[in-house]
């Protein structure tokens, strides 16, 4: 990626690599990373967060975007429903009681204010999570729509919103695990 830009995106092959990427960004730049994964990868991510990034260990600040599989009954895959039903509990266990956790399975919380709070908490040195349901991508009050997926499967509109928030001093390294 281009380290001179506001947002640098790195595609990784497994969620277990995301804590290492976040640590490298933190130790290399002094700024927290923003990582993205599907809820089905939470257990793969968990060991690195629990044993490495937690306060009291190395205290690596980061923000995580966790997108849902099995967010609603319309996703009728049994494995997706199983992980969807466990996502809230897994996020709480993995990121711990000090983490700022926003978002919900039904997408009822307004997306961009929640994103601002998550990024702000990471900037202040904490762990933060925004759980993104496909239902969260709905028209904003001004009539714009952030699509759940761009044609290539990446939330490009969300990346654009993040770029706009860069003006307030947030340096972002986005690591996306694709498995």
Task: Using DSSP, state whether 37 is helix, strand or coil.
Answer: strand
Longest dimension (CA), the chain: 44
Task: Using DSSP, state whether 61 is helix, strand or coil.
Answer: coil
Q: Higher model confidence: residue 158 or residue 144?
A: 158
Which of 157, 162, 122, 151 lies closest to 136, judged by CA? 157
Tokens of 178: 């694709």
Q: Higher model confidence: residue 77 or residue 94?
A: 94
Cα 87 from Cα 139, distance rounded (Å): 25
At 172, the pLDDT band (50, 70, 90 cuts) reads very low
Which of 116, 122, 16 lies closest to 61, judged by CA? 122
pLDDT tens string 26-77: 999 999 999 999 999 999 999 999 998 988 899 999 999 999 888 777 777 8
For residues 39 and 46, the answer to whether their CB atoms sit within 8 Å is: no
Q: Identify the pLDDT of residue 22.
A: 93
> What count of other Cβ atoms lies within 10 Å of the Cβ of residue 53?
25
Asked if pLDDT for residue 2 goes beyond 60, the answer is no
Q: Identify the pLDDT of residue 160.
A: 63
pLDDT tens string 105-147: 777 888 888 989 999 999 999 999 999 887 766 554 443 333 3
Cα 118 from Cα 99, distance rounded (Å): 9
This prediction's pTM:
0.74
State mean pLDDT over 74-93.
88
Query: Cα-flanking dihedrals φ and ψ of residue 165, to 5°?
Result: -80, -10
Which of 24, 30, 73 lies closest to 52, judged by CA? 24
Cα 152 from Cα 172, distance rounded (Å): 21
Asked if pLDDT for residue 162 goes beyond 90, the answer is no
CA atoms within 13 A on the CB side of 110: 7
Sequence-separated (6 or more) residues with CB below 8 Å from residue 30: none
Query: Cα-flanking dihedrals φ and ψ of residue 22, to 5°?
Result: -60, -40
């Amino acid at each position: 990626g281009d380290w001179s830009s506001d947002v640098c995106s790195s595609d990784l092959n497994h969620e277990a690599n995301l804590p290492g990427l976040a640590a490298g960004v933190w130790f290399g730049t002094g700024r927290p990373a923003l990582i993205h994964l599907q809820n089905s990868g939470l257990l793969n991510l968990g060991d690195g967060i629990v044993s490495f990034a937690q306060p009291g260990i190395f205290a690596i600040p980061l923000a995580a975007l966790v997108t849902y599989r099995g967010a609603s009954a319309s996703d009728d895959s049994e494995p997706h429903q199983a992980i969807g039903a466990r996502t809230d509990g897994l996020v709480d266990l993995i990121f711990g009681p000090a983490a700022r956790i926003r978002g919900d399975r039904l997408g009822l919380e307004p997306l961009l204010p929640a994103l601002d709070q998550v990024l702000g908490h990471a900037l202040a040195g904490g762990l933060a999570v925004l759980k993104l349901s496909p239902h969260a991508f709905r028209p904003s009050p001004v009539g714009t729509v952030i699509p759940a997926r761009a044609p290539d499967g990446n939330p490009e509109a969300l990346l654009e919103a993040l770029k706009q928030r860069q003006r307030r001093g947030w340096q972002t390294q986005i690591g996306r695990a694709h498995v």
